[in-house]
Amino acid sequence: MAATETTVADACVAAKRAARELASVPTEAKNAALEATARLLEERADAILEANAGDLADERAASLTDALRDRLTLNPQRVAAMAEGVRVVSELPDPVGEELERRTLRSGIELRKVRVPLGVVAVVYEARPNVTVDCAALTLKSGNAIVLRGSSYAERSNGALAAVVREALAEAGLPEDAVTLLAGGGREQLGELATQEDAVDLLIPRGGEGLKAALKDVATVPVMYAAAGNCHVYVHAAADLEMARRIAVNAKVQRPGVCNAAETLLIDAAVAARFAPAVLADLAAAGVELVGDERARELAGGVEVGAASDADWDTEYLGLKMAVAVVDSVEEAIEHINRHGTGHSEAIVTADEEAAERFAAGVDAAAVYINASTRFTDGFEYGMGAEIGNSTQKLHARGPIGMRELTTFKYVARGTGQVRE
């Protein structure tokens, strides 16, 4: 196991020391550590899967929902995907030192704005062991240290993965404390981590509204929430209906337990009579439990659609359940999404470019799709190699949190002896 048994404060201080060293490490050294991580993931795949099997068999995982068990589960393909993601990160340009702006001031001083690491990033996450590796790879390449705090029911998996990364760091001659996994603790540990103002520069929680609320009550360090995804697909009056069926089903069932899966389907009244029976039959055949408003239920044909409650429109199901509503216009769809959505990912299916642009401009979300599934909101799909999460905030980052979102900037001014009068 690679979980740190020291106090939270000591772990964060050690990470701070490592972050100061990493800030000036050349790209080649960081890439060497990432390459070693990918290789060791492949070499230790059997041990990683054995640790994961132990987590899945543990009584702490017995009460997990199917969606959470899917997130917790590793298999050879998922371990291979982790290794591939690390290699992609190693091949991406190093953001540290990137010049964002250069100009000469009236004084003759040359002013440069350059990208620098944040320092220590802490991530609190549930269920998904791959987050351990994704986060470590992104923070390492962006010159940051990371303190990880995963779920107790994934501690064997997370420990095995963190051990791989720490070994790779040591092999590359970099400080092992650049990646620290805290031993599983309760709410008190979470509160302690969220108040390490002298050591932690950013805290990113990945979890449900309960975790978000718990941190809001205590956090004194900056927090960027990788928040819930109540995502929608809107089928416009000018949609290609066969395309719309594919997109709606994919957005719901391709992997229903993730934050970019669609939870609500909105159908324009102009096509509802033709479209609703077919798409609802597709969804039901895929095992989706359907609830809807009165108009959607009337158009369901032989498909069973329960009555949607007020709460259904605000619920992130993270499973095979979907709410369906009929709307009368693009504006009504936008209004529904902005009232009930979480600002994550929203999609419109339409051949009408004006309607698409109105939707893209009007919906308040981190990602908007035109004629594509919401399932693409993902760091790997966006060419970031991986992601720490998807931010639905507007400061300082929005959407997939990749390497550039883990940096800030500084101004470097070079003069020739100037003094200010």
* Alpha-carbon span 145 to 121, nearest angstrom: 6
Q: Are 179 and 257 found together in one domain?
A: no
Convert the pLDDT of each residue in 343-368 to its tens digit.
999 999 999 999 999 999 999 999 99
pLDDT of residue 365: 96
Give the CATH number for residue 94.
3.40.605.10
395 within domain boundaries = no
SS3 334: helix
The boundaries of the domain holding residue 312 are 231-376
Q: Are 266 and 147 found together in one domain?
A: no
* Alpha-carbon span 344 to 221, nearest angstrom: 24
The total of structural domains in the chain comes to 2
SS3 305: coil
391 within domain boundaries = no
Q: Is the pLDDT of residue 381 over 80?
A: yes
pLDDT of residue 1: 47
Q: Are 190 and 50 found together in one domain?
A: yes
Give the CATH number for residue 304.
3.40.309.10
Q: Say what the pTM is.
A: 0.86
Q: Are 17 and 154 found together in one domain?
A: yes
Q: Which one-letter DSSP state was computed for residue 226? A: B
pLDDT of residue 5: 66
Residues 6+ apart with CB under 8 A from 292: 300, 305, 306, 307, 308, 323, 324, 325
pLDDT of residue 94: 97
On average, the pLDDT of the chain sits at 94
Candidates 295, 47, 24, 305; CA nearest to 162 is 47
